[in-house]
Structure 1
Amino acid sequence: MRNPFFMLTSRSVDKPKSTLAIIFVVILALSSGASQLVFDNTEDGFFPDNETVTLLNEIEDEYQASVDFIRVIDEMEQGELLIGDTWEQLALTEAMLLNDSNFEDYHYPIFGSQANFGMAGTALQWQSIQDPENAQIWISQVTSAIEVLRNSNDTTFNQSLDNLTDTANIIPKLEPITSERLLAWQPSDPNEWLPRLDSGQNLTISINETIWRTYSLFGFNSVRNDFQKDLMTERLGSMISDLYALKGQQSIDYRSMMISSIPVGERDDPWNMTGPVITTLAVSSDPEVYGLEANKFSIVEENINTWSAVLLDNLKQETGDSELRTFSFSQFGVGSTETLGKEIGMLTGSAFMLLAIILWFNFRSVRETAYVMVLTIFAIGATYGLSGWLQKFGVNMTFNAAMNSIPVLLLAIGVDYGLHVVLRIREELKVAD
């Protein structure tokens, strides 16, 4: 049986132009597959393909959520957190994160029951739940309504009880931080309320007094008749529950939550800090949540990266602060991939130029040097293209930063082979002469 390679050789000798054209078309077709390559720049991309890693991936898929964090970084100068306008900007930033239409459908409530976390939202929650100064309004109104009921007679009893149950609705409840609340928030002068936050003041004593006053209305020492006691027990039950819930929330350390958004080294004197303040929004990065196949994580990364850039432009426009920045794992992934592509180009280009110079010194011929280098470049393109097509059709291949060496290795191998071919051709030409 005739060697098929001899047949190809004979064919190329008999019809060189058509053979070169066919080879060129095949190489272009293969090279086009390079656009299908998916690079994995995470640490998982460097793990070996064995049973242990497979088990690890299964555990992560089962128990670990796919979440990304969109972080807005606001650089602070010393003393800026003591200015009310700074807190208004932080509130606006957090509100715009929540309102962003691109991320709105993908919020991931990882911070308790919320997807957002920032200093402004935490300060707002503290002021409504624990701040003694702000609480004086509702405490005085509830206390007044309790005493009115206590001093009422049988004629005014029902009216006074209705008044107390209505007034009890102003008792603060732990509600989600919404964009509407953030935009409506008036932080006033931080120099007034930050010392109260630092001192750890809360409403525990005031709430206990209010609970005692409420129970005393229908307790053992109450002068009311049994019917009125039963009615108060029924009508005031929800009010007492709200007070106990609010009492339990006095143990929340809002100060620690707030300063977790600033660098660790600045937390001893947080309000005079210099450096970044981070406002965060958690979003899902699971491709299936976006209506994509599970292996289309790169598309999700690109979407989040693009949306983050749009968000940053909007933030800069609304706040007038050109120094704002955003960061997310998706931005890191997309940036790493882009950097990887640039590095491959720079590394391959440098190796190409160096090898071309060496070959020219050896051949003393631009034409023969070009033959070797161009054919080697075609081989690199075909190799990457074939890998891309294999990935597209389901072959499990991982391309990471370590693959930067592939073009250089292919250049070395291709140039070495081309060198031997050119020298062999020269030998044949000498024999022919």
Structure 2
Amino acid sequence: MDNFMAARSQMALSLGFHIIFSCIGMVMPFFMAVSHFMYLKTNNINYQHVTKAWSKGVAIFFATGAVSGTVLSFELGLLWPTFMKHAGPIFGMPFSLEGTAFFIEAIALGFFLYGWGRFNKWFHWFTGVIVGVSGLASGILVVAANAWMNSPTGFKLVDGKYTDIDPIKAMFNPAWFSQALHMCVAAFAATGFAVAGVHALMILRKRNVGFHMRSFRIAAIFGVVAAILQPLSGDISAKMVAKRQPAKLAAMEAHFKTEPYSPLIIGGIPDVKNQKVDYAIEIPGMLSFMAHDDFKTPVKGLDQIPLADQPPVAVTHYAFQFMVGLGMAMMALGVIYLIALAKKKSWFTKQWFLTLFIAATPLGFIAVEAGWTVTEVGRQPWIIQGVMRTKDAVTPMPGIGYSFYLFTAVYFTLSIAVIFLLYRQIKMVPVLYDTTAESSAH
């Protein structure tokens, strides 16, 4: 493995792990705040138990997210020094603000964890809300930095030098809103379905049903609403990609030929050599409509993009199809949940209903990983879209392959530790809490 591939692989591995920790870390506090609010309003002890259990999960993911995020920050400088030399002064502001949000989150989490019985009950609840808000702000700020790489603004490039730098304009680049919205909604959907799936399993096993039913309903509501809204955020994001990164859109859709009534490709196997997609379902004009709000307007295909500037088509297309397919499956399950909530409350205890949520536990995070694959692989060969190529930014330092193997071991060890801690936490719930008074949520 050469340095270039080792550096890219290490960055992909680090981001792949961190995105899971960070999504859960910035969404779970909102679940926690809702259950805490329900406890304060109803004085139902089950909600207090749910809040305390989830707060321990928040602490676990806060710690692991901090570790993996710190590693990512160092990797930007170690693996991509040329990139940081030129880009650091331009898009450094969101990273510095993210640090501030992180410290606020850490302080608020400390207040919340150790504030039971020590603070005014509503101030205590408010500290939990601050944990969620600051965590969400951290995520948005980091995504804003990534969006700048996809839509670089806030500077002028003159004779190879970056001048007239405007950090505010760089942070609020044209892609930041659509990308941040899509990522935040995805985080809520993925975390909601994952948490709901774990509690659905406990309900199916008839373990501490009152506790797990309340947990399930809070998590499921967040996940369902986010999954139903996700196509709207996806449409906004896709329109921005069509405008700012036509090569990425073409690779996502395996769209080889520029033509009116550009078809939407569903599935299929891209044949890059022969510029076609085998075994695909085509909907004529739909890609044109989705990109330009007009069925006839041509969508720029790969035939108008120089070969050296084209992203890997197969990887980008498959990742995009996975993301969309899993998103639609989650949305369908969300509709089923809403039907149960409105008219079929007996479904909540049915084996088939709970089994669907158990099966959906990993779907959101697989979709998130696929989405980030589209974002990063679809931008290639650029590390800064249209400005700097990835190969020109990699470190000349030898031995990056060994670093990749070391970090692989570290991340897998960290993941095993997280799984062990969460498993122990779930097993301890029936021991720690006496919730036999009620067997279902109202």
Where on the TM-score scale, by shorter chain, does this alignment land: which range?
under 0.3
TM-score (norm 1): 0.19
TM-score (norm 2): 0.19
Greater relative contact order (Cα 8 A, min sep 6): structure 1 or 2? 1
Q: Return the index of the structure with the highest Cα Rg.
A: 1
